[in-house]
A = this chain, B = another copy of it.
């Protein structure tokens, strides 16, 4: 592999900037575990405000990773679902989870 050409990849750079954004990684993990409602997502992530969750979901929609589904019931029910693009992040989240289980000591998580 020619390092000069390949050591920087703009697609990867863009991906890590989108997914690595504060809270986005945890929101994606929860959605992969089938948490789809706004209030449930907020409840899953300690310290995440309504405003920030709404902002992140909007960004993920703009990236085509999440879609907002409105069920026309009374009262209206809204779900956030991963698109195919979003669902295919499963392996990324899974390998990072495994790495974290192996390498991140629980005490290191106290301040986050």
Q: Which residues from 29 to 82 on chain A have a C-beta closer than 8 Å to any C-beta of chain B?
A: 29-30, 33-35, 44-46
* Chain A interface (Cβ < 8 Å from any Cβ of B): 1, 3, 6-17, 19-22, 24-26, 29-30, 33-35, 44-46, 85, 88-89, 91-93, 95-97, 99-104, 106, 108-109, 112
Min C-beta distance of A52 to chain B, whole Å:
14
Question: Are the C-beta atoms of A101 and B11 separated by less than 8 Å?
Answer: yes
Contact status B99-A89, CB under 8 Å:
yes
**How many whole Å from A88's CB to the nearest CB in chain B?**
6
CA distance A1 to B62 in the complex (A): 30
Q: Decide: A14 near B45, CB < 8 A? Known: A7-B29, A33-B3, A92-B96.
A: no
Let me know if A16 and B96 touch, CB within 8 A. Answer: yes
**By the criterion CB–CB under 8 Å, are B14 and A29 in contact?**
no
